[in-house]
Structure 1
Amino acid sequence: MLSLLISAVASFATTLLLQHFAGFDIWVAIFGGVIVFAGVYFLLLRFIMKKVQVIMDTAQRDIQANRTEKAIKVLQQGYRYAAWQFYLREQINSQIGAIYYLKRDFSKAFEFLQKGFFRNWSSMAMLAICYMHKKQNSKMISTFDKALAGNKKEDMLYNLYAFCLDRIGEREKAIKILEKGLGKVADKEAIQVNLDALKEGKKMKMKQYGDLWYQFHLEKPGALIKKQTRAIQGRRKIVRR
Structure 2
Amino acid sequence: MYNLLISAGTAIAIFLLLKLAVGLPWWGALLISLPVFLGSFILISRIITKKLEALMGTAMKDIQSQRFEKGIRDLKSAFKYGKWQIYVTGQINSTIGMVYFVKRDFSNAFPYLEKGFFKNWVTMGMLAVTYMKRNKKDKMKDTFEKAVVGSPKESLLWSLYAYCLNDCGDTGKAKEVLERGLKKLPGDERIKQNLELLNEGKKMKMKAYGEMWLQFHLESIGTIQKQQMAAMGGKRRIIRK
- Report TM bin, short chain: over 0.9
- Whole-Å Cα distance in 2 between the matches of residues 230 and 144 of structure 1? 32
Assess if the C-alpha contact under 8 Å between 2:229 and 2:235 holds in 1.
no
TM-score, with length taken from structure 2? 0.94
Query: Cα RMSD over matched residues?
Result: 1.4
3-state SS, counterpart of residue 225 of structure 2? helix
What is the CA distance between 1:137 and its match in structure 2? 0.4
Residues 234/150 of structure 1: CA separation in 2 closer, same or farther (3 Å cut): closer
Assess if the C-alpha contact under 8 Å between 2:129 and 2:164 holds in 1.
yes
Q: Which runs of 5+ in 1 are unaligned?
A: 237-241
In the alignment, what sits opposite 1:147?
Answer: 147
Residues 233/193 of structure 1: CA separation in 2 closer, same or farther (3 Å cut): closer
3-state SS, counterpart of residue 24 of structure 2? coil
Assess if the C-alpha contact under 8 Å between 1:102 and 1:216 holds in 2.
yes
Residues 130/180 of structure 1: CA separation in 2 closer, same or farther (3 Å cut): same
3-state SS, counterpart of residue 104 of structure 1? coil
Q: Which amino acid aligns with 1:87?
A: Y
Structure 1 stretch 113-122 or stretch 59-68: which is displaced more? 59-68
In the alignment, what sits opposite 2:137?
Answer: 137
What is the CA distance between 1:187 and its match in structure 2? 5.9
- Whole-Å Cα distance in 2 between the matches of residues 67 and 82 of structure 1? 24
In the alignment, what sits opposite 1:62?
Answer: 62
- Whole-Å Cα distance in 1 between the matches of residues 190 and 206 of structure 2? 8
What is the CA distance between 1:228 and its match in structure 2? 3.3
What is the CA distance between 1:232 and its match in structure 2? 4.8
Alignment of 1:13-92 (within 5 A): 13-92=13-92
In the alignment, what sits opposite 2:239?
Answer: none
Assess if the C-alpha contact under 8 Å between 1:155 and 1:187 holds in 2.
no
Q: Which amino acid aligns with 2:30?
A: I
- Whole-Å Cα distance in 1 between the matches of residues 155 and 201 of structure 2? 21
Q: Which amino acid aligns with 1:72?
A: I
Alignment of 1:144-183 (within 5 A): 144-183=144-183
- Whole-Å Cα distance in 2 between the matches of residues 128 and 120 of structure 1? 12
Q: Which amino acid aligns with 1:19?
A: K
3-state SS, counterpart of residue 42 of structure 1? helix
- Whole-Å Cα distance in 1 between the matches of residues 194 and 227 of structure 2? 19
What is the CA distance between 1:227 and its match in structure 2? 3.6
Q: Structure 1, residues 31-78: CA drift from partner, whole Å, max 9, x if none?
A: 111011001101100000000000111112112211111111111111
Structure 1 stretch 108-117 or stretch 219-228: which is displaced more? 219-228
- Whole-Å Cα distance in 1 between the matches of residues 132 and 166 of structure 2? 11
- Whole-Å Cα distance in 2 between the matches of residues 157 and 205 of structure 1? 14
In the alignment, what sits opposite 2:216?
Answer: 216
**1:128 correspondence with 2:128:** yes
Q: Which runs of 5+ in 2 are unaligned?
A: 237-241
Residues 230/202 of structure 1: CA separation in 2 closer, same or farther (3 Å cut): closer
Report how many residues are paired: 236
TM-score, with length taken from structure 1? 0.94
- Whole-Å Cα distance in 1 between the matches of residues 141 and 184 of structure 2? 19
